[in-house]
């Protein structure tokens, strides 16, 4: 399941968007003002950001600007009633990936989210990535297949596999993994992480997930 962050200060619209996206298979975390948004964004990792621009305390433009300056490239869509070409240009210059003007149809938002998720998450043009000859990972629906049978993973193991698959061969630091698989109100545990790694290794092979001393872990395929 892909994780979406939504910043929207209108309670009714916020609730409507959350309900619609969750009904369509997404997990959604929300904030209602800029300060709350920054606290959550710097504690957790998401697959896509939906940012209203005109929100209290810190506007959506400034939030994404700071996020990009810090090196974060999480795909982002601005949701706003600002509709001038200058505003559109500013949004894209800051680093957004898409821009949707209010009012909008929820179906349109879903189409934009689906498209951006697939575009950003896919590392190849194929929907299925091979980990080994008989173990595959489906990008589109975030499932692990062993001998073409879907294997059920725990919530943390599922998130862990997903972030490995997004950066195959890249060393993921312990801090990055902690922030990815634990919510901001949870306490990360090295012991628990080792357990989740062990559980994944049992399925995809011990040699696939390599521990890099004092750095983190990386996934090797085939």
Please, which residues bridge with residue 149 across strands? 146
* pLDDT computed for residue 83 by the predictor: 80
Q: What is the sign, positive or negative, of the torsion defined by CA atoms of 131, 133, 138, 144?
A: negative
* pLDDT computed for residue 123 by the predictor: 47
- Mean pLDDT of the 82-100 span: 89
Provide CB contacts within 8 A for 104, sequence distance 6+.
Answer: 79
* pLDDT computed for residue 147 by the predictor: 87
* pLDDT computed for residue 97 by the predictor: 92
Task: Evaluate if residue 182 carries a pLDDT over 90.
Answer: no
Assigned fold of 128-219: Arc Repressor Mutant, subunit A (1.10.10)
Task: Evaluate if residue 109 carries a pLDDT over 80.
Answer: yes
Strands of the sheet containing 128-130, edge to edge, are 128-130, 135-138, 143-146, 149-151
User: Which residue in this structure is represented by tokens 């795909």?
Assistant: 75
> For residues 169 and 159, what is the distance between their CA atoms, to the nearest angstrom?
17
pLDDT single digits (tens) 128-156: 778 888 898 886 667 888 987 888 888 88
CATH architecture of structural domain 3-121: 3-Layer(aba) Sandwich (3.40)
**Where do the domains of the chain lie?**
3-121, 128-219
The answer to whether 3-121 and 128-219 have equal CATH topology is no
* Percent of the chain whose pLDDT exceeds 70: 93
> For residues 51 and 63, what is the distance between their CA atoms, to the nearest angstrom?
9
């Amino acid at each position: 399941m892909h994780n979406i962050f939504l910043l929207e200060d209108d309670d009714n619209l916020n609730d409507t968007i959350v309900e619609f996206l969750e009904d369509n298979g997404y997990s959604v975390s929300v904030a209602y003002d800029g300060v709350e948004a920054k606290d959550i964004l710097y504690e957790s990792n998401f697959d896509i950001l939906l940012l209203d621009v005109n929100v209290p305390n810190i506007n959506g433009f400034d939030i994404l600007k700071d996020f990009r300056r810090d090196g974060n490239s999480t795909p982002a869509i601005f949701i706003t009633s600002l509709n001038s070409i200058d505003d559109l240009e500013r949004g894209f210059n800051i680093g957004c990936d898409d821009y949707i003007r209010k009012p909008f149809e929820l179906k349109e938002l879903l189409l934009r989210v689906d498209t951006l998720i697939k575009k950003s998450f896919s590392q190849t043009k194929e929907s299925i990535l091979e980990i080994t000859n008989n173990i595959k990972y489906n990008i589109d629906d975030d499932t692990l297949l062993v001998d073409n049978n879907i294997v059920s993973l725990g919530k943390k193991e599922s998130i862990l596999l997903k972030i490995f698959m997004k950066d195959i061969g890249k060393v993921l630091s312990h801090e990055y993994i902690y922030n990815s698989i634990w919510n901001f109100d949870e306490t990360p545990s090295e012991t628990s992480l080792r357990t989740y790694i062990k559980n994944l290794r049992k399925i995809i092979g011990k040699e696939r997930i390599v521990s890099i001393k004092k750095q983190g872990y990386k996934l090797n395929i085939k």
